Chains A and B, each alone.
Chain A
Amino acid sequence: MSNVSATAAPERLGLLRVLGPGHVWALGVGIVLVGEYMGWNFSVGKGGMIAGLVACWVAGLLYTCVAMIDSEVTSTVAAAGGQYAQAKHIVGPLMAFNVGLFLVMAYTMLEAANAITIGFLLDTVAGMLGHTGLNQQPFIIMTILALAYLNYRGVLASLSFNLVITAFAFVAIILLFLAVQFGASAVPLDFSAVSNEPLPYGWLGIVAALHFGLWYYLGIEGTCQAAEEVRSPARSLPFGTMAGIMTLVIAATLTWYVCSGLIPWEYLGQAGTPLFDAARVTGSSSLMVLLFIGTVFATTASANGCINDASRAWFSMGRDRYLPSWFGAVHPRYRTPYRSIVFLIPIALIFALGAPLDQVVTFSILSGLLGYTFMTFNMVMFRKKWPLGTIKRGYVHPWHPLPAFVLLVLCAATYFAVFLGYGTQLIAMLCFYILASLWFHFWRYRFVKRGDQFTMPWPRPQGY
């Protein structure tokens, strides 16, 4: 086993290390909290109220495994791109290219879903005020452009902005829960559907619901994208990610409770803005305004974080020449991956303006799911190639390989859940990734500098 030779890395403009654990928490929860404000409720539509709750908790277990695994690998591979950089060092360039695409597609589709929700919400509110038929498209376009501009100007400003609006959106859920508990709702909480029609699709509905159950937490692994911009990755990344998971489990449970009690499950299962709808049912103007602002803030924070993460994954691939190197440029003044930010805008717009919400959400979930599947064998390979003690790890997760095994089983169940009703999207997505992989391996890889793909100061991997 030989050590890496001390070759001087070529000088290049790096990203600024300005983020603390609070920013990591805000980045993770900011992207994900929108999952409580929209999308999760499609799980109720796929399986009923009980299935929605079971999906919430099972998905929570899945993401606990994701957070455990990711904290160990990311706190050790602290480079921009998160899982992308992990795949590059542990599995190989083609896997890294795929993981980069998973991240870009998951976040760009989530960004599109957020913009759709903002348009839908404004349309709903305009209708309540007597102005029906609002054209949603200008609001969708403005949302994406404004947030892209904010990201273009700088990561600290955009993530500090996220910290504030994420906190507000979280507090809004708590306030709604407390208000409903203390009798502020004109309509009582009603859980009769839990006993009268607990499983409208039977046990199969519970599995099917897992598809959208992921939406409660999807994107929490985005904390890793900012690894190169975090002041102390070994401490901040595990702390920020775990705190984020705990925040989301609480918010998800409260959300399910309030929405299931205030909204008939048949409506809830197809609602565009469930928490805002729950506030409407209470009849309280204050709660409606609160949840309107909360929904706008949650979707904005999420879209903002998505642009941040997708552009960094794209930037990393450009810097490594997996994509044209033009994308690997850092803005000379703002130190942001500005070309990647600008390039991804039209892709987000195409889907935000032309695809239904549940389809866009499904594409985002599928890309996330492929990424979680990768994490299972990536973790096993990581421990096998560099056993404990051979390299310095920022964090060592317990009970390996149990979390990886549980994650794999839950991923398999979720593939089946997506297959139930959305099998065409699953096949379309796989076709896309297979085509992209063949394109990369047989064409694009010739432009990649082999030795530059391994930048960590680690010894040679065992078995190679």
Chain B
Amino acid sequence: MAYQPPKQSLAGQIVDVVVLLVMTVGALYVPLYMGLAGAAKTPAPIENPTWEALGQNEAEQSQWAALGFPDAASANDIITARFDYTFSWAALIVMVVAVVGYFILVVRLSDKEYREVIEERFGKNGKG
């Protein structure tokens, strides 16, 4: 006999939508809002900057000027900002485990559900 799902009330539907919204905003937006996420470049401005000291040739100097940076001091932070790519192997392993574990979890639970779908659609043991 085919599985008959319960009918969900309007209030239940609203609760489900709220739960999804809370998960979305909570997991993704709150870390950003609290400044916990992000990879800001760190500027390392030099003292008394000149275009030459910042490694900018003549053509690049005119490009900076056209972009609204009239002198080397105004571009000092942007030119000297760099990402820091040092990382711990433990953090990398955590990431790998999280990604692989997530897919294993989803595929295994999906397979359990999929067998129910196939059984109801085609019948047990291929006797559809």
The answer on a CB contact under 8 Å between A200 and B82 is yes
Q: Indicate whether A334 reaches chain B with its CB closer than 8 angstroms.
A: no
Chain B residues whose CB sits within 8 angstroms of the CB of A96 once the complex forms? 110
Contact of A450 among B28, B39, B116, B123 (CB under 8 A): B116
A417 to chain B, nearest CB (A): 10
B77 to chain A, nearest CB (A): 10
A198 to chain B, nearest CB (A): 13
Q: Indicate whether A69 reaches chain B with its CB closer than 8 angstroms.
A: no
The answer on a CB contact under 8 Å between B123 and A2 is yes
Within 8 A of A (CB), among B69-128: 69, 75, 78-79, 81-83, 85, 87, 91-92, 94-95, 98-99, 102-103, 105-107, 109-123, 126-128
Prevailing SS type, chain B contact patch: helix
Prevailing SS type, chain A contact patch: helix
Within 8 A of B (CB), among A359-382: 359, 363, 373-374, 377
Chain A residues whose CB sits within 8 angstroms of the CB of B95 once the complex forms? 415, 419, 423, 426-427
Take A92-B110, A187-B66 as given contacts and tell me if A430 and B98 are in contact as well, using a CB distance cutoff of 8 Å: yes
The answer on a CB contact under 8 Å between A460 and B59 is no
The answer on a CB contact under 8 Å between A363 and B66 is no
**Assembled-state Cα–Cα distance A36/B59 (Å):** 24
The answer on a CB contact under 8 Å between B67 and A424 is no
**Assembled-state Cα–Cα distance A323/B110 (Å):** 16
Residues 168-208 of A, flagged 1 when their CB comes within 8 A of B and 0 if not, give 00000000000000000011101011001100110011001
The answer on a CB contact under 8 Å between B33 and A432 is no
Q: Indicate whether A425 reaches chain B with its CB closer than 8 angstroms.
A: yes
**Assembled-state Cα–Cα distance A120/B65 (Å):** 20
Contact of B5 among A204, A350, A449 (CB under 8 A): A449
Take A2-B127, A95-B107, A267-B78 as given contacts and tell me if A432 and B117 are in contact as well, using a CB distance cutoff of 8 Å: no
Contact of B57 among A192, A377, A436, A439 (CB under 8 A): A192
The answer on a CB contact under 8 Å between B67 and A280 is yes
**Assembled-state Cα–Cα distance A443/B37 (Å):** 30
Chain A residues whose CB sits within 8 angstroms of the CB of B14 once the complex forms? 324
The answer on a CB contact under 8 Å between B6 and A447 is yes
**Assembled-state Cα–Cα distance A275/B81 (Å):** 22
Take A460-B122, A460-B126 as given contacts and tell me if A264 and B116 are in contact as well, using a CB distance cutoff of 8 Å: no
Total B residues in contact with A, Cβ cutoff 8 Å: 76
Contact of B106 among A94, A281, A321, A415 (CB under 8 A): A94
**Assembled-state Cα–Cα distance A89/B110 (Å):** 11
The answer on a CB contact under 8 Å between B41 and A270 is yes
The answer on a CB contact under 8 Å between A424 and B114 is no
Chain A residues whose CB sits within 8 angstroms of the CB of B123 once the complex forms? 2
Chain A residues whose CB sits within 8 angstroms of the CB of B113 once the complex forms? 92-94, 441, 445, 450
Chain B residues whose CB sits within 8 angstroms of the CB of A283 once the complex forms? 66
Within 8 A of B (CB), among A43-96: 45-46, 87, 91-96
Q: Name 14 extra pairs, CB < 8 A, besides A428-B27, A451-B3.
A: A2-B123, A4-B122, A92-B107, A94-B113, A95-B107, A98-B106, A267-B64, A423-B87, A426-B99, A432-B24, A451-B2, A453-B121, A460-B126, A464-B115
Interface residues of B (CB under 8 A from A): 2-3, 5-6, 8, 10, 12-14, 16-17, 19-21, 23-25, 27-29, 31-33, 36-39, 41, 55-57, 59-60, 62-64, 66-67, 69, 75, 78-79, 81-83, 85, 87, 91-92, 94-95, 98-99, 102-103, 105-107, 109-123, 126-128
7 contacts between A and B (CB under 8 A): A2-B122, A91-B107, A324-B8, A324-B13, A377-B107, A428-B27, A429-B27
